[in-house]
Amino acid sequence: MITKRTKSIDASGIRKVFNLASRMKNPINLSIGQPDFDVPEPIKRKAIEALEEGFNKYTPTEGLVPLREKVAARYDFLQASPDNVLITSGVSGGLLLSFLVLVEEGDEVIIPDPYFVMYKHLCKLTGGEPVFVDTYPHFKLTPEAVASAITERTKLLVMNSPANPTGAAYTEDEIKAITRVAERHDIIVLSDEIYEGFIYEGEHVPVARHYDRTVTLSGFSKTFAMTGWRVGYAVAEKSIIEEMAKVQQYTFVCAPSFAQHAALLAMDHDISQHLDRYRRKRDAIYGGLKGNFTVERPRGAFYIFPRAPGGDGNAFAERAIARNLLIIPGEVFSERKSHFRISFAASDEDIERGVAILNELAKSK
């Protein structure tokens, strides 16, 4: 009764932990990938105003023109216009549309390992074949690794910077080197940049600045804590955006109307105070773990991806959960099971308590 394509994918391990948290009594939750601050008040007020003013109906499938204009202006290096922008139902919606439009049966998709969970499963769902490139221990693709993974069937290269689950972020030189390889082989880059607002050293570098055959996905969920509002965007060449919009007509129809109005205001909102707080959280969790764990210091996002003592992230996560601490086994994000993911989008108190438990577990083995 159930299709083979549906059976080819697994339920999200993140959702499993999310559901587990709802049944536990006051867990220390270092598992969920959403900011611990609320949507800024001016953005909430704008959403309420939009609702009260009657913006409760469909928008054009492509999204509100003023919002598309404002997004396009951020990509002036591409000479982007609203025709290059599609407002999506979150970056997750943008990912589904991108895979549906770009990946055909038998196409190979290069995915860095570790990876955000959707990449692997959307690739399979749309008939593609994921080609994983191991990036351990530093969690970044290299041009040599990308080149060695390319075959005549390669269609797409997925990049994610800053990255979930590792917090790794590419420098400008690294992006230039990788996109030169993509350009030589005429491969489209799908660049997930939803965590661009969380970069702790230097600046975020859009992949599209160095390669115009890039589909850039970003949005408002993480930077402005609007995870439940489901507003993202895709920026790409017009022909790709037109096809994505066509598929959106038959799937999401449009992103929520009131939230698009609020997103327009959000693009001018300063969140630097939250960035400073999250930099301190990053430093606290990295400093607290590095003595007992093999761990890379994340440069972006709000995740850290330590190696589990003994190399079994599943067993280590079970031990942590037994102590009322929620973390996610690395196998959810990888073809390996050696690591585990921590989200430091949590209170300082929970971070301190969680680090103490993790160090106790590491020492007791």
Tens digit of each residue's pLDDT, the chain (365 residues): 878 777 777 665 555 665 665 666 788 999 988 899 999 999 999 999 999 999 999 999 999 999 999 999 999 999 999 999 999 999 999 999 999 999 999 999 999 999 999 999 999 999 999 999 999 999 999 999 999 999 999 999 999 999 999 999 999 999 999 999 999 999 999 999 999 999 999 999 999 999 999 999 999 999 999 999 999 999 999 999 999 999 999 999 999 999 999 999 999 999 999 999 999 999 999 999 999 999 999 999 999 999 999 999 999 999 999 999 999 999 999 999 999 999 999 999 999 999 999 999 999 86
Contact 191, 47 (CB under 8 A): no
List where CATH 3.90.1150.10 sits in the chain.
4-39+271-364
- Quote the mean pLDDT of the chain: 94
- Model pLDDT, residue 15: 55
- Model pLDDT, residue 14: 58
The tokens of 49 are what?
A: 């105003």
* Residue among 277, 139, 118 nearest 198 (CA): 277
Measure CA of the first residue to CA of the last residue in the chain; give whole Å: 45
List where CATH 3.40.640.10 sits in the chain.
58-266
The Cα 191–Cα 206 span in angstroms is 8
Fold category of 4-39+271-364 in CATH: Aspartate Aminotransferase, domain 1 (3.90.1150)
- Model pLDDT, residue 17: 63
The Cα 259–Cα 124 span in angstroms is 31
Which position has the token pair 């430093």? 283
The Cα 171–Cα 199 span in angstroms is 11
Contacts of residue 153, defined as CB under 8 A and 6 or more positions apart, other chains included, come to 106, 107, 108, 129
Report the share of the chain in percent with pLDDT over 70: 95
- Model pLDDT, residue 35: 92
Q: Percentage helix, strand, coil, to 5, in the chain?
A: 45, 15, 40
For domain 58-266, give its CATH number from 3.40.640.10, 3.40.50.720, 3.30.200.20, 3.20.20.70. Answer: 3.40.640.10
The Cα 220–Cα 88 span in angstroms is 11
